Structure 1
Amino acid sequence: MITSRTKLTRLPKRGFHDPETIYPILDQGLVCHVSYVLHGQPFTIPIAYCRIDATIYIHGSVGSHFFRELAKGVDVCVSVTMIDALVLARSAFHHSVNYRSVVAFGKTQVVEDEDERWLVLERITEHLVPGRWADVRQPNASELKKTMVIAIPINEASAKVRTGGVNDDPEDADLPYWAGVVPLSTTYHTPIPDPDLREGIEVPGYLSWE
């Protein structure tokens, strides 16, 4: 649903409001930025997250000032951006970026149900590294007590996507400057073992990206 906060006025053809576009971007991103206002001062915090259905979840320390504020039930804006390429035009004015982004609005809620909390912690871990949750010591009662889980229902959201190549002005087509697209991607490198790792423990198969 398009609202006054999610309606795109600049290049509206790049805007999308359907879950089929929004959810895959949220599912691919690893870090979101949560923005809120406290006593007239805006704040933005980058943090790991996961999405379950139409809700974004984050977790952190119960002693965190940020999480104590979110626990009050505040309006927040959550953004996620994936950069796919640099678009280099012949003119500086027409340089651009190919990207996929989501901006969502919602009111924070503390997750109290223990089953839901456990599910969220599992999903955030799996969102960052699929296969990891079953291969670690899972949280104990003390750790769970120190952890706050926050739900942010996606009440309003929009995606904005830029694809394609250079959009130079026709009169610049013959200028003697290179133009084109430089693709970008997140690349996983060879895992570096902890120096104190017990001998004989091999790199898990889920960390093999070759």
Structure 2
Amino acid sequence: MCANFQPPPLEKLLAWGFAIAEDAQYKAEVFPGQVAPIVTSADPYRIHMACFGLVPHWAEPKLARMTYNARSETVASKPSFRAAWRNGQLGAIPVQSFFEPSYESGKAVRHAIRRKDREPFWLAGLWERRLDDPGPTRMSFTLLTISAEGHSIMGRMHEPEDQKRSVVLLDGDERNEWLNAKASDRHHFMRLFEESDFEDQAEPSEPRQSARKVSGH
């Protein structure tokens, strides 16, 4: 389960060669209901801004605060996600780090999970578009999750009695493979990330920072 993450700076996304919309802006840390950069199966070479929390056409925008994660085991049947899954509306979300609570000290301590080399990576998700919506939920997304029992990092997050879950990381050049994956092939991506490449560090929450604004290219 992931309810908070840090996208890479826009300068990094520009350096990767993505086209970016002129109105692109997002906060240094993103929470449900806020916008973040995403690459979609419909437009794999452009960064779009989308609301963290998937909102289908029939739902109220406030649903975003409850649909920011989608279990891979039930994504094909859950009303909020099944249309996006069926239609191949796959997304890749660039991330610098994501945050989870650890209770190893007896109380919740926020941990940042990131690559040891500090390079950004991609998370697998689904996206939706609401063409008649003028607000931030015009485009929205959810992060896919899988069981993390026994994982040396994700297995230590959340309260001891909670089921252990992890977001789905995409390795190396897998981004475009994921965006084009057929339903019968998507289960190949539903695996835990390699612990040796990542680290977790206690990192208390900071005041929410203001959005950055850049011109798109």
TM-score (norm 2): 0.27
Q: Greater CA radius of gyration, 1 or 2?
A: 1
